[in-house]
Structure 1
Amino acid sequence: MLLLMMYNYGMKIGLFGGSFDPPHSGHLKIANTLIAKKYCDVIWFVPCAQHPYQKDISSASHRFAMLKTFKNFSICAYELNKNSTSYSIETLEYFQKLFPNDTFIWIVGSDQLADFKKWYRYEDILKNFQVLVYPRTGFPFDNMLPGIIKLEHVENIDISSTQIKNLLQEKKSIESYTTPEIIKYIKDNELYQ
């Protein structure tokens, strides 16, 4: 009930979906930029249980715990609790029903644009919600559909979770790619070896 009272007054809530396996500095930079540039009032990270296009992701509990180290942001376990394939439209509709006075913005990287028309009920996402796209290196803003908002004036995010996992398997440093808290968590839990 407290959560309903807290958010029941017309906020712009950014839902930042992804596998976050692991979360990295790029995710944090985008979230901070969206708040600073007033695209969103708050950001909720929404880790998926099972990604429709990815296999072999780390356990939900590890990914959730790593995201919790991001201070000043909320972590939403809705998709993790479903324990099945996550579809963005279902998550957006769930939160819109819970918080009808708020505006929900789905946040994705430009790497998702090429396949956006393959997303489950993508037309409903564009019709009923805002979609904000941030730049990813190697993925230009091609295939922009009407209704998608391009995050302007932010440098490309030149980092990926896959890149971090590859560096860890090669026994290389990831210090410039993620936070000290996440590095500690990865080491303590012997992830991505």
Structure 2
Amino acid sequence: MNIGLFFGSFNPIHVGHLIIANTMATATDLEQVWFVVSPQNPFKKNKSLLHEFDRFDMVERAISDNTRLKATDAEFHMPRPSYTIDTLVRLLEKYPQHTFRLIMGEDNLAQFPNWKNHDKILEYVGLYVYPRPQAAPHAFVEHPAVRFVPAPLLDISATYIRDCIRQGRSIRYMVPDVVEEMIIRKKFYV
């Protein structure tokens, strides 16, 4: 199976994540998209990061009605911070029957050369890149292992959603109803 890997904190998962994942699963040769919930991003120190099990639960609830989307806790049992290359190697070893592609926003390409073993990521799985507003120039436009996928330009962020929650503003339509219900019920981000 050809699988796209969509890494992120998903703190919380929102409609922007879901639209990108669904676009990748339906407008490319990917048969599934796996949300790789990251316990700790090596580039982020986020004090408002919910426990990984809560974020994983929100992702599972958000995608429960779509068989093309799946959540994975692959990084939960790895050293932290988790590095994408290490997770990819583990997944490639565990699922040799699958082909993987890394899904990434174009805004991450300028910093991609700073990632641990970024050249191996390109060699092992390659990138499926979706457009992002204000993406910085990068050197990957013609790279044979990088495929640019037309997708809606969305400028929704988990940071904005968390700020809305703290300020008592509505997050309706920015997150799935089941996620909003869970956030309210468990008093996340207040």
TM-score (norm 2): 0.90
RMSD between superposed Cα atoms in Å: 1.4
Amino acid of the residue matched to residue 143 of structure 1?
Answer: H
Contact 1:17–1:47 (8 Å) recurs in 2: yes
Amino acid of the residue matched to residue 27 of structure 2?
Answer: K
Q: Which one of the candidate residues 153, 160, 164 is aligned to 2:161? A: 164
User: SS of 2:154's equivalent?
Assistant: coil
Structure 1 equivalent of residue 187 of structure 2: 190
The number of aligned residues is 181
Q: Which one of the candidate residues 89, 93, 98 is aligned to 1:97? A: 93
Structure 2 equivalent of residue 47 of structure 1: 37
Contact 1:49–1:83 (8 Å) recurs in 2: no
Structure 2 equivalent of residue 151 of structure 1: 149
Structure 2 equivalent of residue 8 of structure 1: none
User: SS of 2:88's equivalent?
Assistant: helix
Structure 1 equivalent of residue 13 of structure 2: 23
Gaps of 5+ in 1: 1-10
Pair 1:63-2:55 in alignment: yes
Structure 2 equivalent of residue 181 of structure 1: 178
User: SS of 1:68's equivalent?
Assistant: helix
Distance apart, 1:25 and its partner CA: 0.3
Contact 1:45–1:74 (8 Å) recurs in 2: yes
Gaps of 5+ in 2: none
User: SS of 1:54's equivalent?
Assistant: coil
TM-score (norm 1): 0.88
